[in-house]
Amino acid sequence: MTPPPADIDVDLELARRLLTGQHPELDGALQLETTGWDNVIFRLGHDLALRIPRRKIAARLIDHEQRWLPKIAPHLPISIPAPVRNGLPANEFPYPWSVVPWVAGEIALHTPLVSTEGARLGSFLRALHDIPIAPDPPTNPYRGVPLVDRRATFDQRLAAARRSLGDELADSARRLLRSAMSIQVTDGPSWIHGDLHSKNVITKNGRIVSVIDWGDICTGDPATDLASLWILFDPADHHHFWDTYGVIDEDLYTRSLGWAVAFGLMLHDSHHQADPAFAAAGVETIRRAVSTWSR
């Protein structure tokens, strides 16, 4: 699957006009950095970046980041790119956009984390999941919900991935998903990142520098975030994470494994043509989750 077409073409000249029109005090060289699934990123000088949505659906995600990241950032032990300026919709560009800190480093997909960084990830997620829920919190129909709510989608993705997975792994993944779907979510919702995979963790020398791309932030089942453990680390190293995150019950653990399979399928389905390395990481995530569940 290739990235969807843009609803609005976001180029360097548009970015410069938006910045000059709303935040002229921010002076610096502006250059295109990357065009993602939902947003176009421009680097501004040495320390800042512009995050501009290219799709209407992403405008709501930018709004969530602007509203909630400044509130949760002080509670977290790892830096996150909370907006430093908010761009407002205007006649030329009808969506919100943000000026955020520039985060230097490599994505964890390309520069894997050292095993002991699991402890820092555990502390980070423990802090995030313990932040009190605000009035009128954001929800997300795709993240933090009971896995069974998305059964049809995951069944379709599993069928599409069967050739890549092989029958044995695909069948085991299906059984794991069914087991996780059968567990009712009875504990209260937590703040969750919602999209915590290896492209959204920035590293330097194998250490976590920042956790980025918070557009899916919402409240829901923390198992959604705990799935990142199987995305980012070999199961043999998971004890570092649990030492700082703390003990969880069997139901939450199984749901986390189910979400790991779900994320693995998402990565494979969305990127098997455009980004084979990312798709392969999805298959490896499924393999790790199944091997953990089978022990």
| Residue 72 confidence (pLDDT) | 97
pLDDT digits (tens, 9 = 90+) for 66-89: 999 999 999 999 999 999 999 999
The residue that leads in pLDDT, 135 or 224, is: 224
pTM assigned to the model: 0.95
The pLDDT of residue 186: 85
Q: Which of 115, 124, 50, 136 is nearest to 80 (CA)?
A: 124
Asked whether the beta carbons of 255 and 183 are under 8 A apart, the reply is yes
| Reported confidence tier of residue 166, pLDDT bands at 50, 70, 90 | very high
Sign of CA dihedral 210, 12, 25, 96: negative
What is the CATH superfamily name and number for domain 12-102? Phosphorylase Kinase; domain 1 (3.30.200.20)
- DSSP SS3 for 34: strand
Every domain of the chain with CATH number 3.30.200.20 lies at 12-102
Q: Which two tokens stand for residue 116?
A: 């002991």
Question: Looking at domain 107-294, which of 3.90.1200.10, 3.30.530.20, 3.40.50.300, 3.30.1200.10 is its CATH number?
Answer: 3.90.1200.10
Band (40; pLDDT cuts 50, 70, 90): very high
Which of 91, 81, 7 is closest to 47 using CA atoms? Answer: 81
Q: Which of 7, 5, 27, 8 is nearest to 16 (CA)?
A: 27
Q: What is the mean pLDDT of residues 137-150?
A: 94
Is 80 exceeded by the pLDDT of residue 236? yes
Q: List all residues 6 or more positions away from 10 whose beta carbon is below 8 Å from its beta carbon.
A: 35, 40, 52, 53, 54
Q: How far is 229 from 155, CA to CA, in rounded Å?
A: 23
DSSP class of residue 165 equals H
Helix (H, G, I), strand (E, B) or coil at 211: strand
pLDDT attached to residue 295: 62
pLDDT of residue 25: 96
In the predicted model, is pLDDT for residue 271 greater than 70?
no
CB 152 within 8 A of CB 142: no
The tokens for 250 are 């069997």
Round to whole Å and give the CA distance between 270 and 2: 7
- pLDDT of 294 > 90? The answer is no
What are the E-state strand segments in the chain?
Answer: 30-35, 39-44, 48-53, 85-87, 97-101, 106-107, 190-192, 201-204, 207-211, 218-220
Condensed to tens digits (0 to 9), the pLDDT of residues 193-206 reads 999 999 999 999 99
Which ranges of 111-205 does DSSP label H, i.e. alpha helix? 117-130, 151-165, 167-181
Minimum mean pLDDT range among 50-54, 217-221, 263-267, 268-272: 268-272
Q: Are 26 and 85 in contact (CB under 8 A)?
A: yes
What is the C-alpha separation between 175 and 206, in angstroms, rounded?
Answer: 34
**Which of the 8 DSSP states describes residue 19?**
H
Confidence grade of residue 27 (pLDDT, cut at 50, 70, 90)? confident
Per-residue pLDDT at 1 exceeds 60 = no
CB distance 187 to 220 below 8 Å: no
HEC profile for 242-272?
HHHHCCCCHHHHHHHHHHHHHHHHHHHHHHC
Query: Does pLDDT of 237 surpass 90?
Result: yes
For residue 62, CA distances in Å to 72, 122, 133, 193 come to: 15, 26, 20, 14
